[in-house]
């Protein structure tokens, strides 16, 4: 996937005394700062999808930001899979460093066997003993929200990323990145 530098916009660009601490200044974050945070998360990632009936579904997932692209897995028969089959729009939310980060985009199953093998190698490097089987993964165990094997790999195309944070000195770093 080719990477393009997103446009960064400050979301709060004026003194705003109603917050604690009061916002005195605003500065857009650099995309490279967010990439570092997403590449080494310390918290739970949450995926939100929408059903055909408009019902929102949120679930904790193993989401991995590799080469500026989010990847996650789903087994057979899960609600997230059913929702993404009908509507590929989704969000991944995480708290990383001093920021709450929301990534909006669309997710699709990748059938690229080379990507699947690279993702399997990444998963093994972090302790999940998966094996690539063509365009899917197989493993002796999985997280409760992953569902049964075989596991498909979803690749998320980013549309927008929001990073929300205010420093103790009152500088807003609330930034919207548009791709």
Residue 31 counted as domain residue: yes
Ramachandran angles phi, psi of 168, nearest 5°: -60, -25
Q: Are 29 and 98 in contact (CB under 8 A)?
A: no
Residue 139 counted as domain residue: no
How many Cβ atoms are within 10 Å of 23's Cβ, its own excluded?
Answer: 20
Residue 141 counted as domain residue: no
Q: Are 177 and 8 in contact (CB under 8 A)?
A: yes
Residue 1 counted as domain residue: no
Q: What gap in Å lies between CA 111 and CA 154, rounded to an integer?
A: 9
Domain hosting residue 163, numbered range: 7-13+21-111+156-178
The C-alpha torsion from 161 through 164 and 169 to 170, rounded to 10°, is: 100
- Cα torsion angle, 96, 100, 103, 108, sign: positive
Residue 43 counted as domain residue: yes
Number of domains in the chain: 1
Residue 128 counted as domain residue: no
Structure tokens at 33: 């700062």
Ramachandran angles phi, psi of 157, nearest 5°: -90, 120
Q: Which pTM value belongs to this model?
A: 0.89
Please list the pLDDT of the chain residue by residue as tens digits (179 residues): 446 789 998 886 556 666 666 677 788 899 999 999 999 878 899 999 999 999 999 999 999 999 999 999 999 899 999 999 999 999 999 999 889 999 999 999 999 999 999 999 999 999 999 999 999 999 998 888 888 889 999 999 999 999 998 777 777 889 999 99
- What's the CATH number where 166 sits? 2.30.110.10
Residue 164 counted as domain residue: yes
pLDDT, residue 14, reads: 59
Residue 71 counted as domain residue: yes
Q: What gap in Å lies between CA 174 and CA 162, rounded to an integer?
A: 7
pLDDT, residue 18, reads: 67
Q: Are 76 and 150 in contact (CB under 8 A)?
A: yes
pLDDT, residue 1, reads: 46
């Amino acid at each position: 996937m080719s990477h393009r530098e997103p446009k960064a916009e400050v979301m709060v660009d004026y003194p705003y005394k109603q917050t604690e601490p009061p916002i005195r200044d605003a500065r857009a974050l650099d995309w490279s700062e967010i990439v570092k945070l997403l590449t080494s998360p310390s918290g739970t990632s949450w995926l939100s999808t929408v059903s055909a009936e408009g019902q929102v579904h949120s679930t904790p997932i193993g989401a991995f930001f590799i080469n500026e692209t989010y990847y996650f897995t789903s087994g057979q028969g899960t609600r997230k899979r059913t929702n993404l089959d009908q509507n590929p729009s989704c969000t991944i939310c995480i708290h990383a460093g001093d920021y709450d980060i929301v990534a909006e985009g669309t997710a699709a199953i990748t059938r690229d066997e080379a990507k699947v093998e690279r993702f399997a190698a990444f998963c093994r490097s972090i302790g999940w003993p998966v094996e690539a089987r063509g365009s899917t993964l197989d493993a002796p165990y999985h997280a409760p929200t992953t569902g049964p094997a075989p596991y498909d790999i979803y690749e998320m195309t980013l549309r927008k990323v929001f990073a929300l944070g205010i420093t103790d000195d009152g500088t807003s770093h609330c930034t919207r990145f548009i791709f």
